[in-house]
Amino acid sequence: MPDLNIALYEDGRPPARYRLNARDQGVILRHGGRWDIYGARDVWVHKSADTFFLHYDAEGPQGWLTALATSRDLTTFARKGPLLAPGPAGAPDSAGACYGTTYFDGRIWRMFYLGTQNASPPPERVPLGPYVTLEAKAARAGGPWTKEPGVVLAPKKGTYYSDTASPGFIVKSGPEYLQFFSAGMRKAIGIARTIGIARASDLDGRWTVDERPILPLEEQIENTSLYFQRSTRTWFMFTNHIALRNHKEFADAVWVYWTQDLRHWNADHKAVVLDGSNSTWSKTVIGLPSVLPVNGRLAIFYDGLEARLERAGATAERPDAYEHMFRDIGLAWLDLPIRLPPENGAVTERRNNPRQP
């Protein structure tokens, strides 16, 4: 993992010092169907039995809705359509029932999804903040899903999550559940973003948000997918980095942070996993990740914007290269176990198969 010499972003937001390069497989799901005619993005993948369930934001005539595609080989996907519909006027998801993470408690499936009452005009209908976290339940991994009443997580004025409290990866740790949710607060220009922890002793109970985020707002990261490496007792948190270029913010990379203590993270312990230099097809935009171990490797699902814009005459410096629309979903891979430089707090691989905390 080389030490990088990267120039700072326009506003001084910190770069990642290291690289942990994933190998890109390319696009696995292209937009253009009935429900995702304007784009497919914001992916979440889980597996049940022999089937992979790929949730994604389908951008279509009704706006952005969490939709489903299934596969048994991660090569061929069958579109199943939206899993949720937008709520009625005045509902917290009236303008978007989007990005949904899942958790199986051994009895029922839960989806924690992003809701908003604000979106840009059609046809784009891009969800706008403030974002809240809502919940739906299902008896089976593929649904059907039933929305639960109430808001799970909501922005709180005067905090680091005053504008965004959207869903994240959930870990059962001892007697409590930890949700690594996306937090954001508006600045004079733009939004500062980070990850916070919300805690619950009962998934049907109240979530309590930690007073401080796990990483500084200056990191400019959002959305989470975690992987626990038993051999080194190390947690890896994959997340989406937001860049600033030509006064424009956009998702430019998948970063990974690592720790051996779920409740304590070090901003120096991070690396670039995927960006325009190692994606084979998306050279500017790299959307949020979802990771899953598959046959001895770690699959990294993400969305991007194909370089067709450049072939059509656009360049990476033009606004349309940062387009929210017309994205597709790709897949990249990391070999396991993940190996880190010892000076960054990684431990050597153990052979006693320690238990997950």
Is 261 a domain residue? yes
How do beta strands 18-19 and 270-274 pair? parallel
Pair of tokens at residue 339: 């190996």
Q: What was the pLDDT predicted at 345?
A: 44
Is 199 a domain residue? yes
Residues of the domain holding 271: 18-341
d(CA 98, CA 82): 10
Q: What was the pLDDT predicted at 312?
A: 47
Q: What was the pLDDT predicted at 9?
A: 85
Is 6 a domain residue? no
Is 348 a domain residue? no
Report residue 139: phi and psi, to 5°.
Answer: -80, -20
Express each pLDDT in 239-248 by its tens digit: 999 998 888 8
What DSSP character marks residue 126? -
Mean pLDDT of 93-106: 97
Q: Return the CATH number at 159.
A: 2.115.10.20
| pLDDT above 80 (res 234) | yes
Single pTM value for the model: 0.92
Mean pLDDT of 101-115: 97
Mean pLDDT of 107-111: 97
- 349 — pLDDT class (breaks 50, 70, 90): very low
Is 137 a domain residue? yes
- 356 — pLDDT class (breaks 50, 70, 90): very low
Q: What sign does the CA torsion over 25, 58, 274, 167 have?
A: negative
Query: Given phi > 0 = left and psi -120 to 50 = alpha, else beta, which region is 215?
Result: beta
Mean pLDDT of 252-256: 97
Three-class SS state of 46: strand
More confident residue, 234 or 308: 234
pLDDT averaged over the chain?
Answer: 90
Is 76 a domain residue? yes
| pLDDT above 70 (res 100) | yes
d(CA 142, CA 52): 10
Other Cβ atoms less than 10 A from the Cβ of 63: the count is 25
For 82, the enclosing helix (H) or strand (E) is: strand 78-82
Is 4 a domain residue? no
Q: What one-letter code names the amino acid at 287?
A: G
Q: Is the peptide bond before 123 cis (omega within 30 degrees of 0)?
A: yes
Express each pLDDT in 36-87 by its tens digit: 999 999 999 999 999 999 999 999 998 999 999 999 999 999 999 999 999 9
In the chain, the number of structural domains is 1
Express each pLDDT in 121-153 by its tens digit: 998 999 999 999 999 999 999 999 999 999 999
Other Cβ atoms less than 10 A from the Cβ of 3: the count is 9
Query: How would you label 244-280 residue by residue, b for 16+ Cβ within 10 Å and e otherwise?
Result: beeeebbbbbbbbbbbeebeebeeebbbbbbbbebbe
Is 231 a domain residue? yes
Strand pairing partners for 221?
Answer: 241
